[in-house]
Structure 1
């Protein structure tokens, strides 16, 4: 030990010298005029040698600081031990004080019990402490009881013996009321009873405040809370008790919410689930406690409903802020719908307790879900428009087996594989299929009709782009339904133009209605075969969806009408604007032709060739769905004949022209019309309307010929 001290004493002067040097170096920093910026700038121009010296200097400072800390610990170690000993002594004294207080409380309790037993035999639990007992003991005993009874109440309140205090208050009020009915009591006794009554009122209020304070404490829960609220109700302050009960449950779940943090991701399902659990569990427990304590009294039930509605609204605002807002803005319909479903699932459990709060949630969540719905539909429309600008309008089977979100869809993709569509139509169909995977929860929000309406407008916009892809389409048709100035690649060939019609007709007739069936509660998830699928579609489709499909077909008819009108005009008129179908071709036959060749006119031959060519193209495009091709060719034939029927200048020349219609012209005209009937019938695109119009045209031509005075049947 002595050797160690000697070594320390020898090392001490060296350390003290080093410490003195360090102390001198620190004087610069201790000065009141020290400027850190100036000091740093002065050191910034150091060379390598000076930098090394500075580093060495800083290392010395570090070592000196460590040594200073060590010395400080050794120097104050004794003070630390002394302080710890004093703290230990204080703990012993506190323990002694606690024992003394416990002994004093025991003594007070014993004294109270003695008073409780000996004071006029009037105990709270003693049913014989009635007015006759007081009367038998005389006025002095009543005055003595009047002095001791408030002290008894104070003891009960101090010891928080709530049930006994309630019983004592009720018993005291009964005794005072009965004593006051005695007309023979002295005025002094009556005054004493009045003081007791005032004391009872004051203690009753004190007990009520005590119970209210206990109910407001976060640590008061479960049975203790219900006991405090029930006691407060027994004191006659039911409205306050009910409000305190609801506030206690509110404060409890607000405290629990402090540990709940919103998710940093766009998907807030976990946050919604945790928050729903907290809020609706608190509401459920509050409803149970309210029913157990207050029963079904209308006033308390109404307050409970209003409170639960307010908490539900606050919950909805939190979910919208932290979960739905980002999802709706980004078009995350699935995430938004799942958040709503989670919240509704928890909320619906309250219906068993008589609280139907789901309509409140639906009303508040609806705008956010509508925003997500609109964003999804807008994304479908914009994505499809972008693909239409580069679509080569060639029908193909879909090459992949996954949808754009990466989720597999056996049923819907099977539908896509069975149909030949162009690239933009495939994309449109897959996005719609994916979209309807997300809209199932929207049924509970009564958004099914709005969903169908939005999808119709998106499809209508796509049809408008298909119309714009037709060469020479009218400007007002191309801009229909807001297609605006979107760039669309032109369909130059007849095959490409028929592909446009194939896109629209297959989507409107089969793919979109089948996807929309997911909005129906009768939707069948799996189908065994195509026949069974179409039968189920017809049986399960609601009137709303039938009307929606009819509107889709009407939108396709716009494309079909534009297609047929353009081909009819190309057939009838030349590039210079001259007509291939005029009255002169029939009127000028007589006198210029000696004998009828019994061969159709060139324009109807060209119509026949065009229809056959289109029928051959459509046969490859509409395998198994020849009905679409038949309807297209039928509409094209009708368009040409209807144009002839409605061409007033043609009939003016036939009926009132400079030259009358001759026998050869009438024969050629009838031959052309019969030729149309013949090839339309063979091609199976002869409609009743076409047959009727042709007969009317022939009759009109015969009437014009008969007006010249000649017999048309000669």
Structure 2
């Protein structure tokens, strides 16, 4: 025993934990309490423990102490609650357990400790009853290992700008998953320690999000958008795996990442807007597959090449943005992205509007500074409209089909891929609402075109209106043609010719896009009639008490309105809006003439007469019969080469049904009195 005693003495001096003087009183006490044999046994046990501690054989120390405490249950009783003699032996044993605890802690805190050693050391602390300390050291150890892995990876982030966030996500969430499993294995489902795991995991996720932002590429780049997308995809997938372990971290992750992804989206769409609207930029090639490029290149022969290039650039940029998005980014931010795309399309439409010459010289000078191409002729303007229509109706739906499909599937399923994670408030955009936004922008362009076209038609001669009240105030021989086959007034005959000419050009430029062709013809007709309904100078003359009114003038105005409606029916674009506006004009004319003593009911033929006369006028104009000897150039002689259906007969027009799409006409005239034609459209 002499050699062991000497070794123990050296060891105790090095550790300063147990002094030789501490043993002697205890030995004396033991000598007075127990027999010599018992004292010797306990001394031998303590000396063996000291040897094992000196050799850092912690597993054997734990087993020996555990066996001793099982043999002597009183040793597990706290010294504070017992005053009998064996407490001196317990005190000596507790001192050695404290040394063992310190050794276990030192082992756990070693930077190079392996997983197996870590588990054994933690189990040792649990056997010593140090459960809170063991759990604290568990979190500290796994957190330290994670930090070292992250520090080793961060210098590589610039080498992998698109995928660095995924690698960081894998490091962080795999560590959280491993720590959660080890905690459950060692500590069970104790809610105290489960809550500590959640708190620790939340702290690590917050740190992870900060690292993603700090090492991200420039937020306005496509690379940043891709990096943010794959980060959310990978992280939410990891969160789904953690939910199986009882950790629900998806909401926290989205709350932390939402400002970042929205910033990246905002800056990417700003960059896209600049690329689309800045025509002085670089000539960077933007290749599109024939599937997307071919529908736009059909307008190249009818317009400036810059127009087609602008459309291709728009689709290419939107397509590039959509391709960076992952499934879960679309699921949680898809509505936001669709809204941004529709807003960008609206900005593009504003550029196209500036390309159409305005009737105001000041507006023209301003617009020329911003747009590199101009649409001067009918064919150029139709190509411009066709480009916008093709983008809105054909290409954009194809480009964003990935987004719409994911959102529709999620809506049909009723849940997202991550349970208990509700989509963002700005992600509730319905597909039909998005299409409505595009249609609103497209209507804005159509309305501008139609207004400029109609104003150009009406004021085509030295800023004098072609259509004024004098048309209906002249004597019969001066401007009204009432023979056996009456005709519309000269301005409306000119309108018929203008629309027919426009239809021929539209058929060539917008080949295969009949919906757009008929929609434009309907809107042009509506716009002219709407102009007449709102023209204050026109109605000022008719409603002036000093102006002589004759029944023939009222009859001519009513015929012109019926003629306009029948033009739309005959050409295949009947419009309820046109019908309503024409009815409101007739109602106002009735009131004006009635106020001057002219009874419309007795002065006018039956409604059927106006309908048949209007149809007959269309037939005569198509056949080239002018019905008048006037040489006025506004009296147009029409030819039948502009009619799409040569077998169509005016006598069948009253049976044609149809309704136009909504436009500004119905919005402004809906509150006016509207008498009904005899051939009301259904």
Q: Mark yes or no: TM-score above 0.5.
A: yes
Q: Deviations over 1:266-300 (max 9, x none)?
A: 74245444434433333222222111110110111
- Asked whether the equivalents of residues 600 and 668 of structure 1 are also in contact (C-alpha less than 8 Å), the reply is yes
Q: Say yes or no: does 1:170 pair with 2:63.
A: no
- Asked whether the equivalents of residues 328 and 368 of structure 1 are also in contact (C-alpha less than 8 Å), the reply is no
- How far 1:713 sits from its partner (Å)? 3.5
The CA distance in 1 between the partners of 2:39 and 2:245, in whole Å, is 53
Q: Which residue of 2 aligns with 1:644?
A: 532
Deviates most, 564-573 or 298-307: 564-573
Q: Deviations over 1:115-165 (max 9, x none)?
A: xxxxxxxxxxxxxxxxxxx99x95555555565554343234334223324
Q: How does 1:140-159 map to 2 (within 5 A)?
A: 147-159=43-55
**Change beyond 3 A, Cα 1:153–1:336:** same
SS of residue in 2 equivalent to 1:202: helix
Q: Deviations over 1:200-221 (max 9, x none)?
A: 2322222111111111112322
Q: Say yes or no: does 1:453 pair with 2:339.
A: yes
**Change beyond 3 A, Cα 1:232–1:466:** same
SS of residue in 2 equivalent to 1:422: helix
Aligned match for 1:255, one of 148, 156, 163: 148
The CA distance in 1 between the partners of 2:41 and 2:78, in whole Å, is 12
Q: Which residue of 2 aligns with 1:713?
A: 604
Q: Which residue of 2 aligns with 1:355?
A: 247
Aligned match for 1:241, one of 131, 134, 145: 134
**Change beyond 3 A, Cα 1:260–1:201:** same
- How far 1:239 sits from its partner (Å)? 1.1
- Asked whether the equivalents of residues 440 and 518 of structure 1 are also in contact (C-alpha less than 8 Å), the reply is no
Q: Which residue of 1 aligns with 2:645?
A: none
- Asked whether the equivalents of residues 146 and 193 of structure 1 are also in contact (C-alpha less than 8 Å), the reply is no
**Change beyond 3 A, Cα 1:177–1:295:** closer
- How far 1:379 sits from its partner (Å)? 2.8
Q: Deviations over 1:658-711 (max 9, x none)?
A: 233213323332332232223222212231221233244335434544542463
Q: How does 1:610-621 map to 2 (within 5 A)?
A: 610-621=498-509
Unaligned runs of 5+ in 2: 9-29, 301-306, 410-427, 606-682
The CA distance in 1 between the partners of 2:68 and 2:361, in whole Å, is 92
The CA distance in 2 between the partners of 1:695 and 1:148, in whole Å, is 118
Q: Which residue of 2 aligns with 1:321?
A: 214
Q: How does 1:221-232 map to 2 (within 5 A)?
A: 221-232=114-125
The CA distance in 2 between the partners of 1:375 and 1:475, in whole Å, is 36
Deviates most, 596-605 or 411-420: 411-420
Q: Which residue of 2 aligns with 1:698?
A: 586
SS of residue in 2 equivalent to 1:656: coil
Q: Say yes or no: does 1:384 pair with 2:384.
A: no
- Asked whether the equivalents of residues 49 and 96 of structure 2 are also in contact (C-alpha less than 8 Å), the reply is yes
Q: Which residue of 1 aligns with 2:349?
A: 463
- How far 1:411 sits from its partner (Å)? 5.4
Q: Which residue of 2 aligns with 1:512?
A: 396
- Asked whether the equivalents of residues 150 and 168 of structure 2 are also in contact (C-alpha less than 8 Å), the reply is yes
The CA distance in 1 between the partners of 2:390 and 2:163, in whole Å, is 41
- How far 1:469 sits from its partner (Å)? 1.5
Q: Which residue of 1 aligns with 2:632?
A: none
- Asked whether the equivalents of residues 583 and 653 of structure 1 are also in contact (C-alpha less than 8 Å), the reply is yes
Q: Say yes or no: does 1:662 pair with 2:550.
A: yes
Aligned match for 1:571, one of 457, 464, 479: 457
Q: Deviations over 1:212-250 (max 9, x none)?
A: 111111232222211111111222221110111121122
Q: Deviations over 1:378-422 (max 9, x none)?
A: 23322222349999xxxxxxxxxxx9666x757555766788772
- How far 1:464 sits from its partner (Å)? 0.9
- Asked whether the equivalents of residues 331 and 407 of structure 2 are also in contact (C-alpha less than 8 Å), the reply is no
The CA distance in 2 between the partners of 1:703 and 1:310, in whole Å, is 78
**Change beyond 3 A, Cα 1:440–1:274:** closer
Q: Which residue of 2 aligns with 1:128?
A: none
Q: Which residue of 1 aligns with 2:87?
A: 194
Deviates most, 618-627 or 566-575: 566-575
- Asked whether the equivalents of residues 469 and 538 of structure 2 are also in contact (C-alpha less than 8 Å), the reply is yes
The CA distance in 2 between the partners of 1:594 and 1:305, in whole Å, is 89
- Asked whether the equivalents of residues 673 and 694 of structure 1 are also in contact (C-alpha less than 8 Å), the reply is yes
The CA distance in 2 between the partners of 1:315 and 1:475, in whole Å, is 58
Structure with the higher helix share, 1 or 2 = 1
Q: How does 1:16-95 map to 2 (within 5 A)?
A: none
- Asked whether the equivalents of residues 464 and 477 of structure 1 are also in contact (C-alpha less than 8 Å), the reply is no
Deviates most, 497-506 or 290-299: 497-506
Larger Rg: 1
**Change beyond 3 A, Cα 1:442–1:425:** farther
The CA distance in 2 between the partners of 1:427 and 1:177, in whole Å, is 80
The CA distance in 1 between the partners of 2:351 and 2:259, in whole Å, is 30
Aligned match for 1:210, one of 100, 103, 106: 103
The CA distance in 1 between the partners of 2:132 and 2:480, in whole Å, is 113
Deviates most, 366-375 or 244-253: 366-375
Q: Which residue of 1 aligns with 2:514?
A: 626
- How far 1:547 sits from its partner (Å)? 0.3
Q: Say yes or no: does 1:279 pair with 2:172.
A: yes
The CA distance in 1 between the partners of 2:591 and 2:78, in whole Å, is 124
Q: Looking at both structures, which has the greater relative contact order when contacts are Cα pairs under 8 Å and sequence separation is at least 6?
A: 2
The CA distance in 2 between the partners of 1:702 and 1:180, in whole Å, is 113
The CA distance in 2 between the partners of 1:383 and 1:427, in whole Å, is 8
The CA distance in 2 between the partners of 1:272 and 1:179, in whole Å, is 52
Q: Say yes or no: does 1:684 pair with 2:572.
A: yes
Unaligned runs of 5+ in 1: 1-102, 110-133, 184-189, 392-402, 526-541
